Amino acid sequence: MSNLIEPGSTIGIIGGGQLGRMMAFSAKERGYKIAVLDPTKNCPTAQVADHHIEAAYNDAEALNKLAEISDVLTYEFENVDASTIKKVIDQVRVPQGTNLLLITQNRLKEKEFLKKSGIPVAAYAKIKTVEELNDSIQELGYPAVLKTVQGGYDGKGQYVLKTKADISEAALLLENGICILEKWVEFEKEVSIMVTRNERGHISTFPVSENIHQNNILLKSIIPARVSEKVQEETKKIAEKIAEKIQLVGVLGIELFITKDEDIYANELAPRPHNSGHYSIEACSDSQFDMHIRAICGYSLPKVELLKSAVMVNILGEHLEKSLELNESKPSWHVHDYGKADVKIGRKMGHITILTDNIDKTLKEVNETKIW
């Protein structure tokens, strides 16, 4: 029992966005204190934290300070600096370690890890030069997606090549460094699954979520995903296998493609709670944030139950004003506002979770608001 990080302890979070904020809510319910490292004044997590260290994520001195006042450290997004975190591992518990970060920060390493673990992925090639791009596209065929190996989210840092005419523009990505070229998967659905594992190796999975994107940004998630029982079971097995192979501690989001023939391809990993798992706050017996806190603090994990079907809709900057009015007109909808000061088009400002007995009817209701 001595390995448990008990209530009253301080959880340090690197990154102060909405994921950190929702982690903090879960932690606070359980009696923990929160310290956050983030360069933005009054960022979403700082609004609900006990301490805010206002500094860059790779500021070694600031991270040292965070480690000093924390009993355990976690991170809420993957573009934090693994080498800086390594420096404090001797002075504070970092249950997630840095290996998970190093794999998920690099698309090539991520694909290699998945392939080696026996998880199906789209055919891919490492690209350093325009010549290699030309050669590999001959091999993989059109369409294909060229992505920067590091950085990029919500569709940034990638280019879809449909014909030879796209090569010169796609090749501009090579100016940022090494890229990965992936064969296009003719998918019928994009799904994701959250999986949690603790240091003792206990694993708990969430329901499979069906995701609908617009302009490469998640727009809606439908839970449970409208896929066969076979696909749901197979997806859970993949999630458990990845969690075991990567020696996960905490929550991991896994994005996958499902083809018409029900083939499943893993697409991306997120070493943290994931946008498509937000529905779990209202729709599950334990949310992804509850499970993350339990896992990093060393507690055993319950089996997660889906209490009710749900539709989750993202609120971007352009939707914010009208979405907040739904607090009055749709009292049964759960409207979350992340407390971000700068409202920008395409920026995630909040989300709405709608518990439902009829997914199609709810999707129709969402469309009828004419907000999205």
State the chain's mean pLDDT as an integer. 95
Both 60 and 198 in a single domain?
no
Bridge-based pairing of strands 187-197 and 209-214 is antiparallel
Both 276 and 217 in a single domain?
yes
**Domains in the chain, number:** 3
359: in domain: yes
Bridge-based pairing of strands 33-37 and 51-53 is parallel
Q: Half-sphere exposure (CA, 13 Å, Cβ side) for 61? A: 2
106: in domain: no
8 A C-beta contact, residue 23 and residue 289: yes
Opening angle at CA 335, ends 218 and 279, nearest 5: 50
- DSSP state string for 175-237: GGS-EEEEEPP-EEEEEEEEEEE-TT--EEEPPPEEEEEETTEEEEEEES-SS-HHHHHHHHH
Domain of 146 in residue numbering reads as 123-183
Per residue in 23-74, pLDDT (tens digit) is 999 999 999 999 999 999 999 999 999 999 999 998 999 999 999 999 999 9
Tell me: pLDDT of 154 over 60: no
Stretch 288-304: mean pLDDT:
98
154: in domain: yes
pTM for the model: 0.95
102: in domain: no
Both 221 and 355 in a single domain?
yes
CA 28, CA 25: separation in Å to the nearest integer? 5
Instruction: Look up the CATH number of the domain holding residue 176.
Output: 3.30.1490.20
CA 53, CA 60: separation in Å to the nearest integer? 12
356: in domain: yes
Both 60 and 129 in a single domain?
no
Last residue of a domain, one of 167, 183, 199: 183
Both 134 and 206 in a single domain?
no
Both 151 and 200 in a single domain?
no
Per residue in 188-229, pLDDT (tens digit) is 999 999 999 999 999 999 999 999 999 889 999 999 999 999
DSSP H or E stretch at residue 110: helix 107-116
Both 143 and 266 in a single domain?
no
Both 175 and 266 in a single domain?
no
Strand partners for 284: 306
Last residue of a domain, one of 134, 154, 183: 183
Both 264 and 348 in a single domain?
yes
Both 65 and 88 in a single domain?
yes
Both 255 and 355 in a single domain?
yes
Instruction: Look up the CATH number of the domain holding residue 27.
Output: 3.40.50.20
CA 168, CA 130: separation in Å to the nearest integer? 8
SS percent in the chain: helix, strand, coil, step 5: 35, 30, 40
51: in domain: yes
Both 208 and 170 in a single domain?
no
pLDDT at 151: 72
